[in-house]
Structure formats: C-alpha cells, structure tokens
Amino acid sequence: MSRAAVTGLGVVAPGGIGVKEYWELLTAGRTATRTITHFDPNGFRSRMAAECDFEPAHHGLSPQQIRRMDRCAQMAVVAAREALTDSGVLGEAPPERIGVSLGSAVGCTVSLEREYVVVSDGGARWEVDPGYGAPHLYHSLVPSSVAAEVAWVAEAEGPVTMVSTGCTSGLDAVGHGARLVADGQADVVVAGAADAPISPITVACFDAIKATSPSNDDPQHASRPFDLERNGFVLGEGAAVLVLESPEHAARRGARVYATIDGFANRCNAFHMTGLKPDGVEMAEAIRLALAEAGLPASAVDYVNAHGSGTKQNDRHETAAIKRALGPHAYDTCVSSIKSMVGHSLGAIGSLELAASVLAIHHDVVPPTANLHTPDPECDLDYVPLTAREKPVDVVLSVGSGFGGFQTAVVLRAPGEATGE
C-alpha cells in the first residue's frame, strides 16, 4: 500500500472528551472504569464500564441532531468535527474527493433497545406496537446512518461506507480508509469508529458468556490486561476519527502529518466465533503481512499497541502471536494495552488505539498498561506496567482480535520516515 498520511485526530473517550484530555489520561495511567451510571446495573454479573461523560449539547449538536442520532453517532460526529478542525482540510478538497470509512461493532443498539422497550411495552409483547415507533427509528436500525452523519459533517461525496467486523472494526475501518486513499479513490478519507454499547442488552450478552470482569467491588482496577489476576474485559464506549490524506495532497496544502499508515493486513482464525487458540498463528500472520507491506523488519517495531482485552484467552493468544511474528525482538520492544484505562469499546476501541498510536509517535511516549501488578508467567513481554515511558517511537504496530475470528494488524510510522523516499 502506498502510504496514507494522518493529518487530523478527534477523540471522544472515557475520562475525557478531546485529544488533549485523552492523551493526558493515557499518559497519566489513570483508569476511567467505574460502576455503570447509564442504567441501573443491579442484577447483572458485570456492573462496570468505562463511560464517557459526554453531553452532546455541550459539543455543539443541535436539538434535532441529538434527537435523530444514537449516542454512538453523536460521539462519531463530535470526534469527526475535532479531527476535521485539527487537520484544516475542510474546503481544501472538493467534496467528490472526500470519503468516509467508519467502523462500529454494534451500531445504534442503545436507541434500538430504548425504542424496543417502548414498542413492546417493556417486553410484554412479541407483536410490538408500531404506533409507538419513534420518528427516527429507521436511522437506528441501519448503523450506516452513523457513516452518513459523519459524511454530512465532512461534506463528503466520494465513497462512504461502514466497516463492521466486530471488535476489529476500528482498525479495519481506518485500514479500509487508507486503502481508498492509496487506490486513488479519494484524496481525503475521514476514518474512524464509534460504539456506545453500555446498555442492558449488550451488558447481558457479555454476562452470558462471562467475557466481562465480575470484579464489581473495585471498578477502577477491574480491567487488568496481561495481569495474572485478570478476569475479563470491562465494557467501554467512545469514538475516534483520523483524517487520512494521500501524502501528496497533504504536502500540497502544507498539512501537518502526525504519522503515516504503511501497513494493514487481516487474517481470520476460522476456529470459533469467540474462542482463540493459544498459538496466535493467524494474528502472527496478519502482523507479518502488515510489516511486509510497510517494508519493515520485525526489529523496526518500537511499540506494539496491543488488543490486550484482559480475558485469560486473549492475552495469552496475543502474547504468543507477537512472539511468533516478531521473534526475539518481541522481548526488546514494548507492548501496552490502553483497555486497562478506557475499557473495551468494541468496534470503537481499534480507532481509539490507532489515535493513541499516532500520539505515541507524535510525542515519543508509550502509554502504559494500568493495573498490571502481578505478572503472568504466560505473558512475559514488556507491557509497560503502570507508568508511561518516554522513548523514541517511529514505528507502531497496532493489533486487534474480534468475535468472528478477525485478526488485524496496522503499521504506523513517523512522518519523517515517509518523506525520506
């Protein structure tokens, strides 16, 4: 893939709205996980989440926009606006040369559930009452409406789509956006992801498979990737948007380039919808392909932004994959999971992780893995426990793993490296 330049960032995250607040949270090693306040979580197995203190009206959304959009769309739009302002790209490219590639794992489920409760009168009837359907219900049924909302904000009239590959959606949407740029189908792609899954149905479905942590008495320390005591992930919510441009387009308008996306590859494990084999073979293959596309050896990786969900299976699987793909360098590079701080926001987290990866390159700082106190002998890499680390970061590998067996790897590089050619 020829490169795509990242020229703008926008973030809505637990613990802080906006890129500045987000990066302060991550580098301070602060956790944003807490007891759920969005609804009464009594009766659920896992009663914690990393919630955003997000008031759409405070971020410039009009009453009609707020009524029309699911929370996940509201977050996507606010993140997109910040990214577009940051990049200064609006007005610099004709609308037909602007595209959107947005990811979401579960779309507008908060609105769908809220309205379901009304039309079914609290779950009392299978044949619900369509007379009680809210006017914008169809907007919630088709999550592509989230991509449409972002397209309107970006004034995009080129290719617009939503990528929905479960928990790798956020990586895959940005990777797809980078390909649209690389293929010449757009000069600018507004790429990112949003999910706002903190509602009873989503919490209950992860309860049912015991994927989420039950450590309800200590929410701040419940998300413990790579720690021996880890016992599941903590649900999160949020959005992150990256403005991608062809390097030529960015250079022509003198845009600041944070980083370039140089490699993107996907493999599936074809094994189980939720389970992972411990060997990490398919994720390792995705990593190998992404590095090959970037033209980089394993030894070039300065930082691995891990999936690190904090389930027993995932962290073992991922550690094996990193070792398999990077060889001895796996022990020399550093690896961290920001899910320890901002939880697991399903499809959104991949884009939040890419935003963190871009910022790691920009600031030469690796965010830590919070809550990592007791090393697991099966997870024996340098996970940057508790405290952020200053070090030169030129090449970042960001990986993800999702229900359905999806394995994704993205390689980002400092902009100086890109202009060297």
Partner 1 sequence: MSEPGTPIAVVTGMSAVTAIGVGLETYWANLLDGACGIRPLSRFDTTGYPTRLGAEVVDFDSRAVPGRLVVQTDRWTHFGLWAGEQALAHAGLDPAQLPGYALSVHTASSSGGNEFGQHEMQGLWSVGPQRVGAYQSIAWFYAATTGQLSIRHGMKGWCGVLVAEQAGGLDTCAQAQRALAQGSAVVLTGATEAPLAPAVLTCHIASRLVSTADDPQRAYLPFDEAANGFLPGEGGAMLVVEPADRARTRGAHRYGVIAGHAATFDPRPGSDRPPRLRHAVEQALDDADARPGDIDVVFADAHGSRPADQAEARALTEVFGRCGVPVTTTKAATGRLAAGSPALDVVTALLAMRDGVLPHVVNVHRPAVDLDLVLGAPRPARPRTALVLARGYAGFNSALVVRAPEPDPRHPGSTEQGTASSAQ
Closest CA to 187 of 95, 72, 74: 95
Chain positions 66 to 105 lying near partner 1, rule: CB under 8 A, are 95-96, 100, 104-105
Report the nearest approach of partner 1 to the CB of residue 37 (Å). Answer: 17
Helix (H, G, I), strand (E, B) or coil at 204: helix
- Establish whether 307 is a catalytic residue: yes
Report the nearest approach of partner 1 to the CB of residue 282 (Å). Answer: 6
Rounded CA-CA distance 91/83 in Å is 14
Encode 269-328 in three state secondary structure. Answer: CCCCCCCCCCCCHHHHHHHHHHHHHHCCCHHHCCEEECCCCCCHHHHHHHHHHHHHHHHH
Q: Is 386 in the site for partner 1 (CB under 8 A)?
A: no
Q: Which stretch binds partner 1 (CB under 8 A): 16-24, 202-210, 371-379, 388-396?
A: 202-210
Closest CA to 52 of 218, 197, 224: 197
Closest CA to 239 of 81, 36, 45, 4: 81
Catalytic residue among 139, 221, 249, 307: 307
Q: Which stretch binds partner 1 (CB under 8 A): 199-207, 313-321, 328-336, 363-371?
A: 199-207
Q: Which stretch binds partner 1 (CB under 8 A): 10-18, 69-77, 214-222, 260-268?
A: 260-268
Q: Is 245 in the site for partner 1 (CB under 8 A)?
A: no
Closest CA to 76 of 98, 59, 97: 59
Task: Out of 151, 240, 243, 261, point to the residue binding partner 1 (CB under 8 A).
Answer: 151
Rounded CA-CA distance 67/63 in Å is 6
Closest CA to 32 of 367, 333, 302: 367
Chain positions 166 to 195 lying near partner 1, rule: CB under 8 A, are 166, 172, 176, 179, 183
Is-contact 100 344, C-beta < 8 A? Answer: no
Q: Is 63 in the site for partner 1 (CB under 8 A)?
A: no
The nearer residue to partner 1, 201 or 228, going by C-beta atoms, is 201
Q: Is 117 in the site for partner 1 (CB under 8 A)?
A: yes
- Establish whether 52 is a catalytic residue: no
Task: Out of 2, 216, 220, 274, point to the residue binding partner 1 (CB under 8 A).
Answer: 274
Task: Out of 22, 23, 206, 258, point to the residue binding partner 1 (CB under 8 A).
Answer: 206
